[in-house]
Amino acid sequence: MLITIDGQQFPLPDEIAANDDLLKAALAPFVPWIVNAQIERKEKDGAMVVNVVKRADWKGKATVINALIASPDEMNPAVALWQQLQARTDLNDPALVLAFEPTIHQAIEQGEQDIAAVHQALARLVECAPAPATRIPLGF
């Protein structure tokens, strides 16, 4: 089978090229980013061609990335309420504005809690001491 990486082609035995794990193991010493590569197999001119394409990957700890991805996607409650109120056209009525007062106060309190949590997270990040890597990344 023919392998294509960054425009260069070279042959590899069919038994290795047909299996992603074997292909990655065979190329790992020469292609440091092979672990995250996208592997595509296509037939071209009657022969199977394997295209290996570099794919961007997350840097850093996977647990942190996964926690961020799993975190809820929400807006600061005060900002969300402000957007809702901006869309209303009947806020000229004082009684209606007074009816919103508890909701406004609750949104402000929740918004301030969100801001405090962000400041606390930032302070913790700033206090973190840099740590040397435990291993040298492949290809570095």
CA 19 to CA 25: how far, in whole Å?
A: 10
State the pLDDT confidence band at 57, using cuts at 50, 70 and 90. low
66, pLDDT greater than 70:
yes
**Backbone φ and ψ of 105, nearest 5°:** -65, -40
The model scores a pTM over 0.85: no
Checking if the pLDDT of 91 tops 60, the result is yes
Does 136 have pLDDT greater than 80? Answer: no
The CA distances from residue 91 to 86, 88, 108, in Å, are 9, 7, 19
Q: Are 39 and 18 in contact (CB under 8 A)?
A: no
